Structure 1
Amino acid sequence: MTSEALPGVSLTLAPRGPEPEPLRTDVAAFLGRFRRGPVGTPVRVESWNDVVDAFGPPPPEGAFATPYALRGFFENGGRTAWALRVSGPAVTARAVWTVGDIGGFAATRYRVVATSPGAWANGVRVAIRHQASTVAGPPTVSLRVTVPGEAPETFSGLPPAGVADLVTGSRYIRLVPDGPAPAPGRPGPISTSWSLTLAGGTDTPPARQEYTDAVTVQSELPEPALVALPDLGTDLSGTVHTDMVLELLGTVFPLLDRLVVLDVPPRLASVDATVEWVESLTATGDSQLLSCAAVYHPLLRTPDGPALRTVPASGHVLGVIARLDAERGAHHTPAGAVILEAVDLAVDLPEPQQVRLFDAGVDLIRCTRGRGLIVWGGRTLSADPRTRYIAHRRLLHLLVRAIRRVATPLVFDVNSPELRLTLVRAITAVLLAAFRAGALAGTRPEQAFRVVCDDTNNPPEQDPGQLVCEIEVAAAVPMEFIRLRLVLGQDRGLEVIEA
């Protein structure tokens, strides 16, 4: 933030935040528990430092998995993520600052409130000092906020009347006037100090409804193409957990633009229990629903100071996918890629158990001699060969995002030969770019894709307010056709359907 001043004029310029980029397919969304931070409000982060700044460091006891998953995402090459704190009912810690009749303040009493609910703020100390006006200058207020386990904050030389507004930049506290203004003409003592301690903050684990709300919020974000819920298997169990996963997939699949990476619930200690859990998901038999999800196992062991910590694999795997996306493109499989910043597997599975998990649809992480930890699978939970491979699903996600970008501005145009030609040219340009990147099969573009938007799928008797465009794409080996149907309607916008 920069400021410029002229006599009688003050100008403050705040840097503009980064704009979301819906065409990217390497952006992840992490839904789970954090030490602090806004509840239910997604925050865009571009580094581990951003995560710590917005949500605080992971709790010392390591009760939450999501912060460690996010750290693994950035350590493996992820560049951008959306983090959404999920919490059950929580109370915000607070204290009362009684100023009294010292003149110059906006109120005789303030409530000192933590910036977000939870027990994290219990024990936060706020030291306040008021200095009356002297020959050296007008009255000032200084504050020092000390949070256990985090860097302290200091605010110096604040005018008493505007202290509440000027402390809004704090990561930890807010000041809320809670009393009448003091009587005028009472300067008070030369120096006065207060020492406050916040208390009363509480946390409760999130239930299904809180996760349902979080899933809805992430579905409304245009940028994420990867989704993980690292704490879901700890917070929910049994059929509630299974139903929540199916609800998540039911929300994600119609979007056709993102992949969910699931973690095996940590309570499932045996291979038999893991296979039974996966079968509870695949029992739906809905290959399209299952095509937007993949399961990676086992858990990882990562450095955490002098010790090792067991963390879910989803964050590291999403980081690998994001890294490959930036290096090679969304159409490359994560199978065979090296996982960074993890030193071991939480459990060493014998080969027969690995085969059982593979047959059930679980993507394995294996420890290989000379290479370390390797992503050993690149399949979704779908058993249908047309929707089985992560690389092909992510190619579909890229195409859908690109097609939306070129087609959405045309929604309100009149259905005419000119509109059809414009749409076909724009979509062809997108598909040509994918073909040149090696994402599509064939030696010539006409072998790789086909775009149809003419009288065959837009007959004269069709509603003139609706335009249909059909796209066929041959993905690279193993060759499978992806079929999309675009419907532009002036009354319902753009609809993309996988045929």
Structure 2
Amino acid sequence: MPAEALPGVSLTFAPRGPGEEPLRTDVAAFLGRLRRGPVGAPVRVESWNDVVGAFGPPDGSSATPYALRGFFENGGRTAWVLRVSGPAEPASALWTVGDLAGFAHRRYRVVAASPGAWANGTRVAIRFQASTVAGLPTVGVRVLVPGESAETFSGIAPAEVAGRLASSRLIRLVPDGGEPEPGPPGPISRSWDLTLTGGTDAPPGRAEYSAAVAAQADLPEPALVALPDLGTDLDGPAHTDTVLELMSSALASLDRLAVLDIPPGASSVDDVVAWTESLAGDNALLSTAAVYHPPLRVPDGLTPRTVPASGHVLGVIARLDVERGAHHTPANAVVLDAVDLAAEFPEPQQLRLFDAGIDLIRCTRGRGLQVWGGRTLSADPRTRYVAHRRLLHLLVRAIRRVASPLVFDVDSPELRLTLVRALTSVLLSAFRAGALAGSRPEQAFRVVCDDVTNPPERDPGQVVCEIEVAPAVPMEFIRLRLVLGQDRSLEVIEA
């Protein structure tokens, strides 16, 4: 009787999918330097262990790993990570198999799974056994990277060794020679001990960061963005232009907030204020970003390390988002995974930073480190507060979700009614959650999709809805315009 016909229970575990949820507003994107991992390709992580597995442990050469650790330690649950790097080379070593039977090629090149100097000195031990208990030749591979746990692969058929190592997080096997020549039986066993060399690092420049900014803009899930290493890698106009590019992409999507760090070169309060003032733009552009200062001192072995505050602040925002909702101000909350501030400011300097639109992190007796402030860089009261902007981001994401299935429908009274009902349902949910003002729904929001918003002379291929929302904290209405086009387009505009 074949084994598969025997009674019993068979378990098959399929890998979990990415589980993207575009309606969430607690997901962050981190753009920066990491020890290893794919360059420029977004990776979704759900824990600090995921970060270490994909990008390696922190080695002190960059701030992004510590920012990610701070994010998860402060309550963050999901992040997208884009490793930014200049032109770098992977470490490698040549493995000469020769004419051993069973291998598909005579030579292979063992190459680090990603570029960088991280793999220099990696030892790869390969063991070939011509005969085993099962009677078939096998190959075993053990990979030892300095500072990381070992990887072991055993019982591999020689012809399948390259395919099996494709699942390694550390190395790849690339054919580098022809097929073995038939000959007499080879040795019963053979061993190779290889050392990878030639890996190089290169700091990212303006072009690499620009590509990362564009890549994160294409991700539907992140609602928070940070660039912890930007101030170290770029300075002057290149730094400012990258920040403005990130803010422009956030303004275009209308569904995410950039949390910025003051560049390390801005050592005095005058420098900090001058840098903030250099981010010229209208209030709509400035409303896409918030700046938190000063940097934090975080544990790193025996000596604390200074890191930008953005990663920890994103974790606090994500934690409060889950506990209270996106419409609550992320302030007066304790910052974890930090032991001190990198700088202390007397009250007059705090007031000056506050007037410049900078949110401070303070250390208060008995309460530790706290986020103190929740304002964007905008001077306009209508776009100044982080809580209001994040409420807007949540509504835009929800509105897109309910309106997207209707982009192919023809303008008609039925379509307009469907839009109004769907949008009203979204806004009612926000009202019941306490995000909107008023004791009745009609005091909190209004949805209009009629002949006033769609006059007879307008483009017949578009349907326009106007939405007005009153946040729970007293301020003017937030006004949105939804434009639905039969050319598959869907646009949400802040009026």
TM-score (norm 1): 0.96
Query: Residue 347 of structure 1 is aligned with which of 320, 343, 346?
Result: 343
Q: CA deviation at 1:178?
A: 1.2
Question: Residues 127-206 of structure 1 correspond to what in structure 2 (within 5 A)?
Answer: 127-134=125-132, 136-206=134-204
Task: Check the 8 A contact 1:104/1:187 in 2, yes or no.
Answer: no
Report the equivalent of 1:20.
20
Cα 1:20–1:135 change in 2 (3 A) is closer
Aligned partners of 2:108, 2:214: CA distance in 1, in Å?
36
Q: CA deviation at 1:185?
A: 4.6
Aligned partners of 1:381 and 1:54: how far apart in 2? 34
Using the TM superposition, give the Cα deviation of residue 310 of structure 1 relative to its aligned residue in structure 2, in angstroms: 0.9
Q: Does 1:48 align with 2:44?
A: no
The one-letter code of the counterpart of 1:402 is A
2:223 is aligned to: 225
1:466-477 equivalences in 2 (<5 Å): 466-477=462-473
**1:254 deviation in Å?**
1.1
2:90 — aligned with what? 92
**Structure 1 SS opposite 2:140:** strand
Name which of 298, 304, 315 aligns with 1:302: 298
The letter for the 2-side match of 1:41 is: A
Alignment of 1:34-433 (within 5 A): 34-59=34-59, 62-134=60-132, 136-281=134-279, 283-284=280-281, 286-433=282-429
Q: Could you tell me how far 1:475 is from its partner in structure 2?
A: 0.7
* Contact 2:18-2:44 within 8 A present in 1 as well: no
For residues 294 and 37 of structure 1, the distance between their equivalents in structure 2, rounded to whole angstroms, comes to: 29
Q: Is the 8 A contact 1:132 1:187 kept in 2?
A: no
177-186 or 158-167: bigger deviation: 177-186
The answer (yes or no) to whether the contact 1:72–1:316 under 8 Å persists in 2 is: yes
1:281-321 per-residue CA deviation (whole Å, 9 max, x = no partner) reads 1x33x100000100000001111223211111000100000
Q: Deviations over 1:234-270 (max 9, x none)?
A: 0000121111111111111110000000001112111
Instruction: Encode CA deviations 1:458-485: one digit per residue, 9 max, x unaligned.
Output: 1223222110000000011132310000
Structure 2 contact 35–56 (Cα < 8 Å) conserved: yes
Task: Report Cα offsets for 1:149-179 as digits up to 9, x if no partner.
Answer: 0000111111111111011111110111111
Shift of 1:11: 11
- AA partner of residue 316 (structure 1): H
Distance verdict in 2 for CA 1:183–1:5, change over 3 Å: farther
C-alpha distance in 2 between matches for 1:183 and 1:134: 23
Deviations 1:327-362 (A, max 9, x none): 010000011111112111011111111111111111
* 2:265 maps to amino acid: R
Contact 1:140 1:157 in 2 (8 A): yes
Which of 477, 484, 488 is 1:488 aligned to? 484
Aligned equivalents of 1:164, 1:235: Cα separation in 2: 37
Instruction: State the AA in 1 paired with 2:58.
Output: P
CA drift of 1:6 comes to 3.7
3-state SS of the aligned residue for 1:387?
coil
Q: What secondary structure does 2:334 align onto?
A: coil
Shift of 1:5: 7.7
Q: Distance in 2 between matches of 1:187 and 1:156?
A: 22
TM-score by length of 2: 0.97
In structure 1, list runs of 5 or more residues that go unmatched.
Answer: none
How many residue pairs get matched?
490
2:450 to 454, 477, 496: 454
In structure 2, the CA distance between the partners of 1:136 and 1:463, relative to structure 1 (3 Å rule), is: closer
Letter in 2 for 1:43: V
Q: Specify the code of the residue in structure 2 equivalent to 1:291.
A: S
Q: What residue identity is the alignment partner of 1:435? A: F
Percent identity over the alignment is 78
Q: Retained in 1: the 8 A contact 2:382–2:475?
A: no
Q: Are residues 359 and 465 of structure 1, via their aligned partners in 2, closer, same or farther at CA, if it must alter by over 3 Å?
A: same
Q: For the residues of structure 2 that align with 1:169 and 1:242, how far apart are their CA atoms?
A: 40
Q: Which moved more, 1:10-19 or 1:406-415?
A: 10-19
1:385 partner SS: coil
> Does the C-alpha gap of structure 1 residues 321 and 11 become closer, same or farther in structure 2, counting only changes over 3 Å?
closer
Indicate if the aligned counterparts of 1:131 and 1:190 stay in contact, CA closer than 8 A: yes
- Kept in 2, the 8 Å contact 1:101–1:186? The answer is no
Q: Is the 8 A contact 1:441 1:479 kept in 2?
A: no
Per-residue deviation at 1:103? 1.0
**How far apart, in 2, do the equivalents of 1:104 and 1:432 lie?**
67
Distance 1:15 1:6 in 2: 23
Structure 1 residues 242 and 131: alpha-carbon distance in aligned structure 2, compared to 1, 3 A threshold: same
Q: Flag the 1:13–1:180 CA change in 2: closer, same or farther, 3 A.
A: farther
- Name which of structure 1's ranges 398-407 and 260-269 shifts more when overlaid on structure 2: 260-269
- Please tell me the residue identity of whatever aligns with 1:46: E
Distance 2:13 2:317 in 1: 37
CA distance in 2 between partners of 1:43 and 1:414 (Å): 39
| CA contact 2:408–2:488 (8 Å) conserved in 1 | no
Letter in 2 for 1:197: T
The Cα shift of 1:493 comes to 1.0
